[in-house]
Amino acid sequence: MKLVAVTSCPTGIAHTYMAAEALEQAGRAAGHDIQVETQGAAGATPLPPEVIAAADAVIFAVDVEVRDRQRFAGKPTVQVSVKKAISDAPGIIEQAVEEARSAPATVTSGAPAPADPFGATGPALASKVTDGAGTATRVRQWLMTGVSYMIPFVAAGGILIALGFMIAQVAAGKEGVVLVTQVDPATLANNFDVTSGLQWAALLFWIGKYAFAFLVPALAGFIAFAIADRPGIVPGFVGGWISANLVGAGFLGGIAAGFIGGFIALWLVRRPVPRALRPIMPVVVIPLVSTLLTGAVMILVLGRPLKWVSDELTKGLNNMNGANLILLGVILGLMMAFDMGGPVNKVAYTFATTGLEAVGTATDATQLKVMAAVMAAGMTPPLGMALATVLRPKLFTDAERENGVAAWLLGASFITEGAIPFAAGDPLRVIPSLMLGSAVTGGMVMGFGSTLRAPHGGLWVTPLIGGILPYLLAIVIGTVITAFAVTALKGSRSAKQSEVAQDALVAA
């Protein structure tokens, strides 16, 4: 049987090594293959990931926290005090063998089972592959860790919102999709009317909205987790929330928060500290300091430039009134797809909805065309990615392909965020592809002169769209362009099979 162990004690000069020796002796005496990582004062040489992957069981003989414990997630584990390992190593070896025997067979196969939510911590393991893994690969592994944890939020929230729209349309007619967004969630909590279809629709819509509120924090939190292990989670989540809510920096800001929080936490974890402080480091000092620093960077450093960008973009759009409408459509399309819920997207969307309020009851105003272009351009990113996962499934990870299924519905419902998991995992190839498709769609809709007087809803507000056929044609064309662009860009990379394989591991 293959065993691995970690030994560690407060001083790190005696028990750590005695326990390691005792376990190695006892393991070999019992005919097992055992490798021990001594996390002592003389420094620790991490066990190679493949050795951990191949291990049938893990022994922690420790009096202090195991460093990078996530590497061993999902393995049958025996944890004892370091002294116990010295006094009764054979008994502990026996215990570990028992654990391995009684554990489900899948665990010993090396790769975490796909259904295991902690399977997604594989990247924590994979991100430790510093030997051989270049910076680019590691960055991608960190991003994919965040993405794999974010996808369930996107799927749950997006589908609930889409279902809310559908029910609203059935229950309240063609204005239903607009009405559902106007139901106050407090009404649902205080006076829910079970006979009201619209309220049921609003219930789904708001729960979906709340799930969406965790999208960027989860992305940031788990990017930081991949970088720094558990200490990264708090600064990452808090930084992500600030990005999404306070400074409106969207998922790109969330990625930044994940990296900032992760590296601050990692830096703190690696600080040498007086022994007296050590017990309170993981529970008090590291969360406190890392969260303070990450939050401060997000608010004080990112806040002002982002506001400036938003203000300038808004000014620019307002000045374009009267200019070439097709060009305006192209620019709005580019903006919608750039950061999907981030500052640039918000400027374009707000520009459209503000116009909607100003237009009153006119039926052919430019503002209605702008709204139509913005919505169409916001639908093609998820649709294009969904199409790409069908056209060239091999270019995507399992998690991405599953997200692709949901992305059809999210795109059809004008939930642009459905494309974020793809964009966050591979921004440099995905975002330009999304922008290209959305720009074409936005320009075409403006050119065709389709109109829309609802701020949201996607295909569910079809009855409110004027000039529906060219409108749909523009969406189809943009979708196809995005799908082809992204498969071409990703395809040029897939020659490197090893990286794809690694990504598959990351997402598994």
Partner 1 sequence: MSALITPELVLLDVEVPDRGTVTRLLAQRLQAAGRVTDLDGFLADVRAREELMPTGLPGGIGIPHCRSAHVTVPTLGFARVPSGVDFGAEDGPATLVFLIAAPEGGGQEHLTILATLARKLIHQSFRDALMAADKPSDVVDLVSKEVAA
Query: What are the C-alpha distances in Å from 270 to residues 15, 89, 203, 228, 264?
Result: 22, 31, 46, 10, 10
Shorter beta-carbon distance to partner 1: residue 272 or 360: 272
Token digits for 442?
A: 């936005």
Token digits for 394?
A: 């091999």
Shorter beta-carbon distance to partner 1: residue 27 or 258: 27
CB of 88 to partner 1, least distance (A): 8
Token digits for 309?
A: 């960008």
Contacts of 99 (CB under 8 A, 6+ apart): 57, 76, 77, 78
With beta carbons less than 8 A apart as the criterion, state whether 236 and 261 touch: yes
Shorter beta-carbon distance to partner 1: residue 7 or 181: 7
Binding interface with partner 1 (CB under 8 A)? 10-18, 20-22, 25, 38, 40-43, 63, 83, 86-87, 275
CB of 28 to partner 1, least distance (A): 13
Q: What is the dihedral of CA 18, 19, 24, 26, to 10 degrees?
A: 110
Choice among 5, 9, 89, 268 that is catalytic: 9
CB of 162 to partner 1, least distance (A): 57
> In sequence order, what DSSP letters do the residues of 393-440 get, joined into one string?
GGGS-HHHHHHHHHHHHHHHTT-GGGGHHHHHHSHHHHHHHHHHHHHH
Is 179 a catalytic site residue? no
With beta carbons less than 8 A apart as the criterion, state whether 423 and 434 touch: yes
Q: Which of 451, 452, 385 is nearest to 416 (CA)?
A: 385
CB of 497 to partner 1, least distance (A): 39
CB of 14 to partner 1, least distance (A): 5
Spell 437-446 as b/e; 16+ CB within 10 A means b: bbbbbbbbbb
Shorter beta-carbon distance to partner 1: residue 41 or 284: 41
Partners of 61 in the β-ladder: 7, 80
CA distance 222 to 214: 12
Q: Which of 264, 257, 263, 265 is nearest to 219 (CA)?
A: 257
Shorter beta-carbon distance to partner 1: residue 2 or 83: 83
CA distance 307 to 133: 37
> Checking DSSP bridges between strand 33-38 and strand 77-80, what pairing results, if any?
unpaired
Backbone angles phi, psi at 291, to 5 degrees: -70, -40
CB of 6 to partner 1, least distance (A): 15
Shorter beta-carbon distance to partner 1: residue 40 or 458: 40
CB of 18 to partner 1, least distance (A): 5
With beta carbons less than 8 A apart as the criterion, state whether 68 and 48 touch: no
Shorter beta-carbon distance to partner 1: residue 89 or 233: 89
Which positions are catalytic?
9
